[in-house]
Structure 1
Amino acid sequence: MFDRTANPSFQYPADCFYFRIWIIILLFTNLNPGIAAAQESQNSTKPSTVIILSAPGSIKEFLFKYFKLPSEPFADETAEEIFLYRAQKEIRNLLATEGYFSPSISVLHQIRNNVSIPEIKVDPGTLTRIGKIYIAFQGEITQEISKYQERIAQLRTTWPLKTGLPFRSSEWEKAKEALLSEVTQEEFAAAQFVSSQATVDPDNARADLSIIIDSGPVFYLGEIQITGLERYDPAMITNLAPFKMGDIYRRDVLHLYQIALQKGPQFGSVSVSVTPDVTQHRTVPVQVMVTEAQSQRFAFGVGYSSNNGARGEINYRNHNLMDRAWNLTSLLRLEQKRQTFFAGIDTLPDQNNVNYSLGANLQMTDIQDLKTVEEKIGVTRNYQTQKIQMHFGLSWQHESKKPAGAINQINEALVLDWRWRRQVVDDPVNIRRGDVTDLRVGGGSRQLLSDQDFIRTYARHQSWWPVGSQDVIFLRAEVGYTLASSRFGIPQEYLFRAGGIQSIRGYDFKSIGVEEGNAIVGGLVMATGTAEYTHWLTQQWGVATFVDIGSAADRWQKMHPFLGYGGGIRWRSPAGPIALDLARGHETGTLRVHFSMAVAF
């Protein structure tokens, strides 16, 4: 080490001192790249991101949504100029889609922290509004026939883009598409645009609309042409057709036909259509394309319901039994309160939408201290359309009934049963508007293998009403009455208990009925009702509040109403709304959680 005190007459040369200081600065800078980068940034003149200046609130929000700003500084001035040129052109095109055809777009430069930042100033100008509207038709729809003239008048009346409304390209395209779809909905499958034009006058901020549609000739349905069918008889497809040759073409009829075929387990996919060839309009072929599903399958499942607890099940299905396309279904379902084994065969529907079912069932239950073992076999004639289902059946049932603290019984009944159901809803999975009505009448006689004379009647009605754009009001009412001298000798299926999901929430499943020993058994009369309001917070999630009331007893005079109320959450699953409810039973003061599908058919 150099010791300055050893030679006090020694002095540093000035250039040597500054040289050492310079070396230290260089070393310090190389060892601290962050500082070097900061110094480079300070010396840089590269701009930051572009911002939109002085655009009206809604326009600014629109541009931020559809116009992408750079997230990194420009590499050089050339890159900046290219971007700004492209930006002005793209913004102008975006504004045109919203009806602004004369915008003023300018670029300013501001200096912030010694950095030049380009700013885009947007003045959208005057909003273009719809002026004259001209909708004309050609083809057979112009015939002097009252129904065609009324149809043209209706199409013009329901045209959504009225004079004076803002003109937007997206709404213009949607309106044209909807108009053509309405024309091709019925009779005129080959309708097409002859011309469609929106003439924009930027100076007067006005857009005149002109549309000419050629309806073409009336189409009539011809023979059914099937492709993709290998294992099954074509009659299983033709028998389900809701039309006959020579009927006028209607798109909704073909859609219903496709839905009916898709319901069959024999097919994985189905497509029903016609080719709008004007040369075949008198007998246009109906093309049915199917993909056959596997004829046999096993399925396993688990689940949970607050009515019957945890559930596990296994089922086997054969959709081509005896090579006749009959449907064999077998099911083993194990629940905490109920265990079920079922096997059944369904024939194919005929041309009158009628088929037959044969089934056998073994079921054991342990609910509210009542144990039952039920053996049942029956045959049913079924009739089904899009809105109506009707079943007429004959079944024999043997039931072992074991109420805790009371006498065990054996009940047998041969029952003639009729069921009718009407369903008119806007969406079978997520209902906002519609009605579902169920009626059932059945009975047995001591003269025909039954232990008791009885007639059982049951009715249920459910209604949905939309409120605003999202919310729904749901009302349900059901009533049951079994005409008999006594409930003894009648199987529980033909008596009534209440409580639980789809009945009176806040009370255990089937906990409202008639006391027999320590058990609750079914009575001869029952009535329940529900009022529920659901508010959907998003497309998937909602909240609900409800009140249930009702009872079950042996006589109307002994009916004591039970009240339940509460709220819950709803989730729109692919299979339908899932409900999780917290309900309070007013008579007991207890709180219960109910979990299930919100809509049960």
Structure 2
Amino acid sequence: MACAEPEPAPAKKTTLITLDAPASIKKLIEQYITFPDQPFADATSQAIFVRRVKREISGLLATEGYFTPEIEFTPAPAPGQPHQLNLVPGPRTRVASLSIEFLGDLADDTPERRARVQKLRDDWPLTPGKVFRSARWEDAKTALLSSVMERDYAAARITESQAQVDPETAQAYLNVVIDSGPAFRFGDLQTTGLERYDLDVLQLKMPFRSGDPYRRDQLLAYQARLQNSPLFNTVAVSIEPDPALHEAVPVDITLIEAHAKRIGAGVGYSSNNGARGEINYRDYNFLGRAWSLGSLLRLEQKRQTFSARVDTLPDANHYHYTFGGRVEMTDIKNLKTFNQRADFSRIRTTANSMMQLGLNWQREERRPAGAPKTVNETLALDFWGRYRNIDDPIYVRNGYVSEMRLGGGTRHVLSERDFIRSYARHMHWWPIGARDTLHLRAEVGYTLASSRQGLPQEYLFRAGGIQSIRGYDFLSLGVREGKAIVGGRTMATGTLEYVRWFTDNWGAAVFADAGDAADRWRDFKLGLGYGGGVRWRSPAGPFALDLARRHDTGTLRFHFSIAVAF
């Protein structure tokens, strides 16, 4: 029998240079210094390498505070053996003294300026006793100058900067002098590219006024507000830090306006309402006043909607007005409705909160299967408040969202019944470990009225489905009327969910939902659903696919959603 000869093992790469140095220093050198991978051609090339490597290593170690290294190169004792490079880094230089001085307006002897100067000195990181490194020195100067410039002193500059190092004592003596220049104040707006809109559109979004002290964060916030507006494609906001203009420095805005009219279309699917197709039209310069007109035609398997709405520009106190109308047909759990609505509201929106006070009129035709058709008409005054404090508006991991609604109407003013409707919801997220999240949701609603009859479904309550009780069909919990499920006057639901993220974008969840909707609290029967699902941080928003089990019947139901509902 013939035996195949074993293949020779790959040749081991020969080490031409052996480096003897402390572990941390050795790792640094191997990261930044290149050693030859071929034998030296002659004594001259070897000498050139020795001079180069000593120079490069000395420069590299100086950035880490080692200014007196001892570097010794020992040639190989015989051909084929490695050369030896021995390194003793020497003592590490530390800061011995520090001097930070200020010139200009900031140096004036007032209590406010003295406190600010002291704060700047206290925040300096490279204090006496700390290891001196070139990178830390440069970062500290940059941070100090930035701190001076962010408030009042847009033209501040470093006029003197010295780091004197004594190699023999391994000590560094630091000196920095900053001239703050004069204190700046905001002046008038100067715009480039504003053609379609009046200057008021820009002034209403300003977080400052002409004459206010200069604040860099306000300038950046102003740019972000304008950039996030649908009126503009690109926006740049800046000032020219000319000391001669410090009393009223112009605010320069360069922008490119977006198209005022836009048409969009989309398709989608949710386990609540089934397949969906929609088309929308937006005009961001309605009536030439920079008002926003939006209209939407949305066709879903269980709901069909056409709506139109006009929003005015927010004023200096963040208030704006909105008015519009909606026509909607639904067919959910054997209840068919045809609803017409008109409303007018005053809304105040800030970065974390929204408050809305509105008046809306509704006319609703109800056709419950197996029960008489009814027509309800209501004029209601409605308050809606919401506050959120979250780490990310799309992929929330830490924080909370709370909201409350309170509204009502009277039979003396275009309503068929006296009623007061109240609703509250709270959602909370807690980070667990490095990636995971624990989520709690709770909601409760109650309509104070002598009967549910005569009230549109919007002022009553049903439960079931996504953002309610999974394991139950969408809006399947409520009051039975004939063969249909209609809204009742009471509702409470809650969710506890844990999401385990295996990667940055993929995770799995386990959850439990509970609650019910009924006409009276004494009719309340707790429904329970629980299960698990998949989570994906998709480009379009959070994606969730859940399999939930209804506890009382054991029925399994899939629920699909994308985006967080606030």
TM-score of the superposed pair, with normalisation by structure 2: 0.83
Please name the residue that 2:289 is paired with.
324
- For 1:561-600, list aligned pairs within 5 A: 561-566=526-531, 568=533, 570-573=535-538, 576-590=541-555, 592-597=557-562, 599-600=564-565
| Among 305, 327, 330, the residue aligned to 1:362 | 327
Go from structure 1 to structure 2 and tell me whether the alpha carbon gap of 1:544 and 1:260 turns closer, same or farther (over 3 Å shift): same
Which letter maps to 1:291?
A: I
Largest Rg, 1 or 2: 1
Aligned to 1:294: 259
Q: Does the Cα contact within 8 Å between 1:50 and 1:120 map onto a contact in 2?
A: no
Task: Tell me which residue corresponds to 1:34.
Answer: none
- Give the structure 2 partner of residue 450 of structure 1: 415
- 1:228 partnered with 2:193: yes
Task: Say yes or no: does 1:193 pair with 2:176.
Answer: no
What amino acid maps onto 2:410 in structure 1? S
Distance in 1 (alpha carbons) for counterparts of 2:437 and 2:147: 29
- Given candidates 450, 459, 464, the residue that maps to 1:494 is 459
Q: Answer yes or no: is the 8 Å Cα contact 1:52–1:60 preserved in 2.
A: no
Query: Contact 1:396 / 1:415 at 8 angstroms: preserved in 2?
Result: yes
8 Å contact kept, 2:18–2:82: no
Structure 2 segments unaligned to the other structure (5+ residues)? 1-7
Partner of 1:157: 122
Decide whether aligned partners of structure 1 residues 132 and 453 sit closer, same or farther in structure 2, where only a CA change above 3 A counts: same
Residue 379 of structure 1: which of 337, 341, 344 is its match?
344
What's the CA shift for 1:220?
Answer: 1.5
Q: In structure 2, how many angstroms separate the alpha carbons of the residues matched to 1:241 and 1:487?
A: 47
Q: Give 3-state SS (helix, strand or coil) of 1:498's partner.
A: coil
Aligned to 2:4: none
CA shift, 1:361, in A, is: 1.7
RMSD: 3.9
**What SS does structure 1 have at the residue aligned with 2:217?**
helix
Structure 1 residues 263-274: aligned runs within 5 Å: 263-274=228-239
Q: Label 1:552 to 1:162 Cα distance change in 2 as closer, same or farther (>3 A).
A: farther
* 2:184 alignment partner in structure 1: 219
Counterpart pick for 2:444 among 451, 464, 479: 479
Are positions 1:311 and 2:311 aligned together? Answer: no
Same amino acid, percent of matched pairs: 53
Q: Deviation string for 1:221-267 (max 9, x for gaps)?
A: 11122221011111121223232222122223233322332333211
Structure 1 Cα separation of the partners of residues 438 and 121 of structure 2? 34
SS of 2:268's equivalent? strand
Cα 1:214/1:533, change in 2 over 3 Å:
farther
2:353 is aligned, of 388, 396, 405, to: 388
- Check the 8 A contact 2:261/2:284 in 1, yes or no: yes
Q: State the distance in 2 between where 1:403 and 1:111 align.
A: 100
- Cα distance between partner residues in 2 of 1:420 and 1:440: 6
Gaps of at least 5 residues in structure 1 are 1-37
Task: Deviation per CA, 1:459-500: give whole Å up to 9, x if none.
Answer: 223344556665555443322221112222222222222333
Q: Tell me how far apart the structure 1 counterparts of residues 342 and 208 of structure 2 sit (CA, whole Å).
A: 36
**2:398 and 2:431 in contact (8 A); partners too:** yes
Distance 1:547 1:167 in 2: 56
**Secondary structure of the residue that 1:447 maps to in structure 2?**
coil
Please state whether the residue corresponding to 2:412 is helix, strand or coil: helix
1:217/1:281 contact within 8 Å kept: yes
Q: Contact conserved, 1:396 with 1:414, CA < 8 A, in 2? A: yes
Q: CA deviation at 1:346?
A: 1.8
Asked if 1 retains the 8 angstrom alpha-carbon contact of 2:151 and 2:214, the reply is: yes
Query: How much does 1:581 deviate?
Result: 4.7
Q: Check conservation: 2:394, 2:563, Cα contact below 8 A.
A: no
Instruction: Look up the equivalent residue of 1:487 and give its one-letter code.
Output: R
Compare 256-265 and 90-99 and name the one that shifted more. 90-99
Which stretch shows the higher mean deviation, 529-538 or 454-463? 529-538
Q: Is the alpha carbon distance of 1:481 and 1:47 closer, same or farther for their aligned partners in structure 2, counting shifts above 3 Å?
A: closer
Deviates more, 1:194-203 or 1:359-368: 194-203
* 1:490 partner letter: L
| 2:242 paired with 1:277 | yes
SS in 1 for 2:220: helix
Match of 2:377 among 408, 412, 418: 412
Which is worse superposed, 561-570 or 355-364?
A: 561-570
Q: Deviation at 1:67?
A: 5.8
Residues 314-353 of structure 1: pairs in structure 2 closer than 5 A: 314-353=279-318
Q: In structure 2, how many angstroms separate the alpha carbons of the residues matched to 1:583 and 1:476?
A: 17
Residues 539 and 98 of structure 1, relative CA distance in 2, 3 Å threshold: farther
Aligned to 1:522: 487
Asked if residue 251 in structure 1 is aligned to residue 216 in structure 2, the reply is yes
**Could you say which residue in structure 1 is the equivalent of 2:206?**
241
Q: Match for residue 468 of structure 2?
A: 503
Structure 2: distance between partners of 1:335 and 1:354? 33
Deviations 1:316-370 (A, max 9, x none): 2122223222222122223343332222222223344332222222233333443
Equivalent pairs, count: 558
Name the one with the larger helix percent. 1
Name the aligned partner's letter for residue 281 of structure 2: Y
Give the structure 2 partner of residue 555 of structure 1: 520
Rounded Cα–Cα distance in structure 2 between residues aligned with 1:85 and 1:306: 73
C-alpha distance in structure 2 between counterparts of 1:298 and 1:60, whole Å = 62
